[in-house]
Structure 1
Amino acid sequence: MTTAEDLRIRPATEADLPAVVAMLADDPLGAHRESPDDLAPYTAALKQLRDDPNQYVVVAELDGKVVGTLQLTIVHGLSRKGATRSIIEAVRVHEDARGSGLGTRFIEWAIAESRARGCQLVQLTSDATRTDAHRFYERLGFTGSHVGFKLPL
């Protein structure tokens, strides 16, 4: 039986992009903003992210299949006495792996990686409509402490 302990977390590569973009597009929100048929912008973005030492785009692999992805960004700041924080973004777990504990293991990895990078705070945002995700993050110790705003450019 395959378990969360069998999960391998590693940097994303160009070869992973079809699976990653498919997961990003696999919900009502992503279906309208992602383009799985055109990987060129994702390839360019991945290159930029890999060139930045404060960006980590990773995949979760299980039995040779990409079952999750997330982006971890390290942000150095002045607030909180010059605290370094991390931001977890673009978290997706393949629908076949949801509910199996793999998502928990994946987020635990991001938290541990944040600690290892000297972060004093881990933050993330989740679309207001993703109530299942909110319960998941709260179960892992995150609290809904802020209201987020966006301005499309």
Structure 2
Amino acid sequence: MIRIIRKAAAQDRQAVRDLLGQLGYAFTVEDVEDRLNLLAGTGTDPVLLAIRDDDIVGLIALHFAIILHAREPVARVTALVVRDEERGAGLGRLLVDAGDDLARQAGCSVLELTTAVARTEAHTFYRKLGFTNSSLRFSRAIRSHLAVQVCSRPAGCQR
């Protein structure tokens, strides 16, 4: 039985790295510790862990954002993973519910996520939790060669 859902801390770095590895992300323990410390300092990026018998068996990472076109902040699930051998026991649902509760406390009105196109089992899981396919996401690497000047003053910039 899951006894605890708690916020992640730097000392959880190895278990978090192992869980992210199950999603195909390769990080060093030091990289994970740095990220956990950075996220903990923002106030808008909680990482929650599911603990069973003193073992970390799952995590959900969230980002709360105020965006221009939404009246209330939006919560995005940036990572969700349950250890392979623990899947199917309701831990993913428990983590999403815990994330939903934190998002509500932060004033968010929507919980959204993105998922790789190839992760069809995850898509089925998300639909069972009430998520709908409401958008299409595009991405690209940031280009450093564009020569565009951005004026930071609302008025008075010269062309």
TM-score, normalised to structure 2, is: 0.83
Hey, what's the Cα distance between the residues in 1 that align with 2:13 and 2:5? Answer: 15
RMSD over aligned CA atoms reads 1.3
Determine if the alignment matches structure 1 residue 54 to structure 2 residue 44.
Answer: yes
Aligned AA (1:78): L
Total equivalences in the alignment:
142
After superposing on structure 2, the runs of 4+ consecutive aligned residues of structure 1 that deviate more than 6 Å are none
- Determine which structure has the larger helix proportion and give its number: 1
Q: Extract unaligned runs of 5+ from structure 1.
A: none
Report deviation, 1:7.
Answer: 3.9
Structure 2 stretches of 5 or more lacking a match? Answer: 143-159
Q: Is the 8 A contact 1:60 1:69 kept in 2?
A: yes
Are 1:63 and 2:63 matched, yes or no?
Answer: no
Would you say 1:44 and 2:29 are equivalent positions? no
Asked if 1:22 is matched to 2:18, the reply is yes
Structure 2 letter corresponding to 1:117: A
Q: Following the alignment from structure 1 to structure 2, what is the Cα–Cα distance between the partners of residues 110 and 100?
A: 18
Rounded Cα–Cα distance in structure 2 between residues aligned with 1:98 and 1:107: 14
Whether 2:31 is the aligned partner of 1:8: answer: no
Q: Show the 5 A alignment for 1:1-153.
A: 2=1, 6-27=2-23, 30=24, 33-35=25-27, 38-80=28-70, 82-153=71-142
The letter for the 2-side match of 1:152 is A
With normalisation by structure 1, the TM-score equals 0.87
Higher relative CO (Cα under 8 Å, sequence separation at least 6) belongs to 1
Of the two, which has the highest radius of gyration? Answer: 2
User: Kindly, what percent of the aligned residue pairs are identical?
Assistant: 29
